Each structure stands twice: as C-alpha cells, then as structure tokens.
Chain A
Amino acid sequence: DTGVSQNPRHKITKRGQNVTFRCDPISEHNRLYWYRQTLGQGPEFLTYFQNEAQLEKSRLLSDRFSAERPKGSFSTLEIQRTEQGDSAMYLCASSLFAGGDEKLFFGSGTQLSVL
C-alpha cells in the first residue's frame, strides 16, 4: 500500500507525558499537513509543510505542539506535557502540489487518549 501511513494507530498516555506521532506521506508528495479531529467535528488544521519547510501553523496551536519534516520526507508531531483536552484523532495528509487545485490524501490517523 502506497498511501499515507500513520503510526501508532492508537496512543494512550497519562496527563503530563510527552507523545510523538509519525506520518509517512505518499512518496514524492511535496506537501504534508497535520489536522486534529474530535468526535462529531470536522478536521481542524494544525500545520503544514512544503518539502521540509513548515510554512503555516494554526494560531490556535499551543506551544506544546511541535512538528518537523526533516529532509522533506516523513513528519513527526510531538505534544509535550499532554493535557486531557489533547485527546483527539490526529490526521496527516499529503499532496503533490504543482499549482492549480489541490487534492489531499489522508492517513487513518492516530487516536490519542490522555488519561
């Protein structure tokens, strides 16, 4: 399968712990996005990369969140000092953007539960 891969699928952690999620985009896709989704809501934009450069970060995103995309390939999303409000599905998406319209391909997400 050459789709977007996210690991782990599920993560349970205690409040105050740090967690890190990984996303492997579709090969050669130059854009990579992170979204967060809670039950009954649509995905909420967190941040995005074009190649290795992080070009936009949601103003709603706490400083406890950080994302990287070294070498423009896979990406990691780290949440430090987790809080119960961080419990959500974290979705990664990638696209091959060359101007014009854009189509995002999403992974299956990482479900985070903070106890």
Chain B
Amino acid sequence: LAKTTQPISMDSYEGQEVNITCSHNNIATNDYITWYQQFPSQGPRFIIQGYKTKVTNEVASLFIPADRKSSTLSLPRVSLSDTAVYYCLVGETDSWGKLQFGAGTQVVVTP
C-alpha cells in the first residue's frame, strides 16, 4: 500500500477555503484515494473518495492530478465545526480495506 504524507497541522479562519495536499508517490494503478475526518472522541467519518481528476460532493472537493502522485482535499468556506483531524488514505481497488491511517492533518479554524 502506498505511503501517504500530509502536513501535520493547518490553521484557517472562518469563511476561508482550506486545501490539504497529500503526497502518495508510490500509488499503484488500481489504488484509490480516500479522505476521512475525525473529531475528538469520535471515530473517523468518510468525506470523499476518488481515483482521478476531480470529485465533488456536498462537503468537499478532491483534486487528483494526472500522475496521481498527490491529491488535494478542498474544504470551501470552513466554519469552526470543521476543526478536526483529516486523514488521507490510499486503498487498493477490489481488495480488502486495510486502509493505513497516518497521523493526519490537524485543521484548526478560528473566528
């Protein structure tokens, strides 16, 4: 499974867009990219998942360049409630989900 690298922390103000970039240089052809969000004392929550180009849902957007060696999670107009740890994971399609969590990125949103 491809190892991922992401910033340890990021600070933002309410209403701003937050972009978290994750590196996964060893991503394989059949690997997909998933992002989870975790609040204190709760389990991680699925945010978004993609394989290539751009994916958008009601919560976030995921940008994946053509070489797929990195991906960027974009959170539009963050609020205080978006303060959380965000994890980037790489999983193998059609395989069992031994998704490897790294330490994640702590995002702190202030007024």
Which residues of A does B touch, CB under 8 Å? Answer: 4, 31, 33, 35, 40-45, 48, 50, 55-56, 89, 91-93, 95, 97, 99-109, 111
Task: Give Cα A105 to B96, complex, Å.
Answer: 15
In the complex the two chains form, what is the Cα distance from A85 to B87 in whole Å? Answer: 24
The reply to whether A106 and B43 contact each other, CB–CB distance below 8 Å, is yes
List A contacts of B97 (CB < 8 A): 31, 33, 48, 95, 97, 102, 104
Query: How many chain B residues have a CB neighbour from A under 8 Å?
Result: 25
CA distance A108 to B43 in the complex (A): 5
Bound CA span A104–B41, Å: 17
Residues of B within 8 A of A107 (CB): 43
Shortest beta-carbon contacts, A-B, top 7: A106-B43, A42-B101, A102-B97, A43-B101, A101-B32, A91-B43, A103-B46
Q: Does B49 contact A (CB under 8 A)?
A: yes
17 of the cross-chain contacts (CB-CB < 8 Å) are: A31-B97, A42-B87, A42-B101, A43-B101, A45-B99, A48-B96, A56-B96, A56-B98, A92-B43, A100-B93, A102-B97, A104-B44, A106-B42, A107-B43, A108-B41, A108-B42, A109-B43
Decide if B76 is an interface residue (CB 8 Å cutoff): no
**Is B67 among interface residues, defined by CB-CB distance under 8 A?**
no
Contact of B44 among A50, A55, A106 (CB under 8 A): A106
Cα-based distance from A99 to B30 in the complex (angstroms): 12
Task: Kindly list chain A residues whose C-beta atoms are within 8 Å of the C-beta of B71.
Answer: none
